[in-house]
Amino acid sequence: MMADHNLVKILSGFAWTMLFLNNIFYFIGDLGPLFIILALTGLELGVSISPAHVSTISICIYLNDAINLH
């Protein structure tokens, strides 16, 4: 789990550095890392939503069984 966070941190630092260089070629080359950061952030959101969904469904099933004993 930490490797994904480290990868996003490294790539965002790289993209941030390239964004503030005063050369147009660096700015154009910066679009690739920015899109990769957006894609990885989307994947992280998907990975974090999945366990939350599973635990919510499990709690709902448990509460239903606890309230309706038969």
**pLDDT tens-digit series, residues 33-68:** 778 888 888 888 888 898 899 999 999 999 999 999
Decide if 26 contacts 18 (C-beta within 8 A).
Answer: yes
Give the predicted TM-score (pTM) of the model. Answer: 0.56
CA distances from 49 to 1, 24, 44, 53, 59 (A): 14, 38, 9, 6, 15
CA dist 32 and 18 (Å) reads: 11
State the greatest distance between any 2 C-alpha atoms of the chain, in Å, as a whole number.
71
- Radius of gyration (C-alpha) of the chain in whole angstroms: 21
